[in-house]
A = this chain, B = another copy of it.
Amino acid sequence: MAIHSSKLFSIATGSSEPIYRQLVDQAQRLVAGGQLAPGDAMPSVREVAQALALNPMTVSKAYGILELEGVLTRKRGMGMFVADAPKGTHSVASRIELLRPTLERAALEARQLELDHDTVLTLFTKLLKEKQ
């Protein structure tokens, strides 16, 4: 057991985002960011379930989706492991594309609010530097 689930995942019970989605998204970002490296063993379904006080099926659903997405691989009887990264997955170009939809939405909202570009960019720059 290389990694403690209590350190890996944190779920927001109050959020409207489904728990399994929170787990999936966190795992994806941890892998994209390199905190989880290819070959690393994931904490077991039961361990995560116990640590976060969840039903094992909820965790299992998250792991299943991550497997379908190619982020994790299952070794039968041995648990889940971080998959070897498809080539180019971590390039800047591919990561910026993951951010594009959110930025497009922000641009649309800014236009609808008839906000000046400078005003928007000033706030966004400030937010990028914050909490860092």
A residues adjacent to B (C-beta < 8 A): 10, 13, 16-19, 21, 26, 29-30, 32-35, 55, 65, 68-69, 75-78, 92, 95-96, 98-100, 102-117, 119-121, 123-125, 127-132
In the complex, what residue of chain B is closest to A112 when comparing beta carbons? Answer: B29
How many copies of this chain does the complex contain? 4
Most buried by B among A29, A32, A103, A131: A103
Interface of A is mostly: helix
Can you list the 6 inter-chain pairs with the closest CB atoms, starting with the nearest? A33-B114, A29-B112, A107-B127, A33-B113, A95-B113, A102-B106
Are B100's CB and A102's CB within 8 A? no
- Residues of B within 8 Å of A19, CB to CB, are 76
A100 to B55, CA, bound (A): 30
